[in-house]
Chain A
Amino acid sequence: MNALIHGVLLGGEYALIACGLSLAFGVMRLVNIAHGDLAVCGAYLVVFLGLPVAYALPLVLPIAFGIGWLLNITLFERALKAGDLAPVLVTFGLSVVIQNLLTEGATANPRTLDGGAISLAEVGGVSVLRIIAFAVAVSVLGGLQLGLSYTGFGRRVRATADDVDTARLVGIRVRPLFAAVAGIAVATAALAGVFLGLLGTVDPYTGGLTLIFAFEAVVIGGLGSLWGTLAGGIVIGLTQQLAGLWSVKFAVLAVHLVFLAVLTFRPRGLFA
Chain B
Amino acid sequence: MLEIDTVTKRFGQVVVADALSLTVRPGDAVGVVGPNGAGKTSLFGMISGDLSPDAGEIRFAGLTVTRLDAAARCRLGVGRTYQVPRPFADLTVFENVLVAAQQGAGERGRAARATAADALARTGLSDLSDRLAGRLGLLQRKRLELARALATRPSLLLLDEVAGGLTDPEVAELVEIVRAARGDGLAVIWIEHVVRALTATVERLICLAGGRMIGDGPPAEVLASRAVQEVFLGVTP
Contacts and interface: CB of A to CB of B under 8 A. Distances in A.
Given A152-B102, A156-B103, A170 B49 contact: no
Interface stretch (B6-14, B81-89, B211-219): B81-89
Contact of A171 (B74, B82, B88, B96): B74
Interface in A155-174: 155-156, 158-159, 162-163, 165-174
A122 B152 CA distance: 56
Contacts of A171: 71, 74-75, 100, 103-106, 152
B95 A155 contact: yes
Contacts of A172: 71, 99, 103
B136 to A, nearest CB: 14
Contacts of B103: 156, 170-173
Contact of A168 (B71, B96, B106): B71
B14 to A, nearest CB: 21
A170 B74 contact: yes
B86 A163 contact: yes
Interface in B56-108: 69-71, 74-75, 80, 82, 86, 88-91, 95-96, 98-100, 102-106
Given A156-B103, A171-B152, A166 B88 contact: yes
Interface string A222-255: 0000000000000000000000000000000000
Interface in A191-211: none
Given A166-B82, A171-B75, A172-B99, A159 B88 contact: yes
Contacts of A156: 99, 103
B102 A168 contact: no
Nearest to A152: B102
B89 A170 contact: no
A169 B88 contact: no
B143 interface: no
Contacts of B95: 155, 159
Contacts of B151: 170
A98 to B, nearest CB: 32
A118 B155 CA distance: 62
A168 B91 contact: no
A155 B98 contact: yes
B91 A170 contact: no
A170 B96 CA distance: 9
Nearest to A159: B88
A159, A166, A169, A174: residue with the most chain B Cβ atoms closer than 10 Å: A169
A97 B103 CA distance: 38
A260 B86 CA distance: 35
B142 interface: no
Nearest to B151: A170
A167 B104 CA distance: 10
A174 B71 CA distance: 8
A247 to B, nearest CB: 43
A162 B105 CA distance: 21
B204 interface: no
Contact of A170 (B69, B90, B148): B148
Given A155-B95, A171-B71, A171-B74, A166 B86 contact: yes
A167 B82 CA distance: 13
B48 interface: yes
B80 to A, nearest CB: 6
Contact of A155 (B49, B69, B91): B91
Nearest to A161: B90
Interface string B16-44: 00000000000000000000000000000
A168 B69 CA distance: 8
B89 A159 contact: no
Given A168-B70, A173-B71, 11 more contacts: A155-B98, A159-B95, A159-B99, A162-B90, A162-B91, A166-B82, A166-B86, A167-B88, A168-B69, A171-B71, A171-B104
12 contacts: A159-B88, A159-B91, A162-B88, A165-B50, A165-B86, A166-B82, A166-B88, A169-B74, A171-B152, A172-B71, A172-B99, A174-B71
Interface of B: 48-50, 69-71, 74-75, 80, 82, 86, 88-91, 95-96, 98-100, 102-106, 148, 151-152
The 5 A-B residue pairs whose C-beta atoms are closest, nearest first, are A171-B104, A171-B103, A168-B70, A171-B74, A170-B100
